[in-house]
Amino acid sequence: MTTVRDIMIKDVKVCAPHDAVASAAKIMRDINCGSVPVCEGKKVVGMITDRDIVIHCVAEGKDCNSVHCHDSMSSDIITCSPDTDVHECSHIMSENQIRRIPVVENGEMVGICAIGDLAKVNIFANEAGEALSHISETLQ
């Protein structure tokens, strides 16, 4: 059985709740992704996406250096454990229409699993594709 622990990214870039959304945007640019976990210490308290920044800051004409991540983030976070089977992780992503899922153990973030990480494991390419398809369908 392949678990999330086997494929997750362990060196995760995160923001703090009081960081400016511009900081989150720079992380997204630098690591080429659309969302960043927001953490207090090692505890995940939210996720901020490029869409969150556009809707809650840019579209309202606010200064991205003044608006904090906690003002724009989603706080209803879906997580999984390192021992979650990759098939189950794919299902969780699909059901919740998310592309990145924080991996939490004993209340602390230990990694993140992205839809692309699932796709890199050849035997799971179809599931990752199906999950992305379900995610994309709902977003259109």
Q: What are φ and ψ of residue 8, in 5° steps?
A: -70, 155
Give the C-alpha separation, 99 to 133, whole Å: 11
Give the C-alpha separation, 84 to 74, whole Å: 23
What does the pLDDT look like over 34-83, one tens digit per residue?
A: 999 999 999 999 999 999 999 999 999 999 999 999 999 999 999 999 99
**pTM assigned to the model:** 0.84
CATH pick for 4-139 out of 3.10.580.10, 1.20.1050.10, 3.40.630.30, 1.20.140.10: 3.10.580.10
Mean local confidence (pLDDT), 90-104: 92
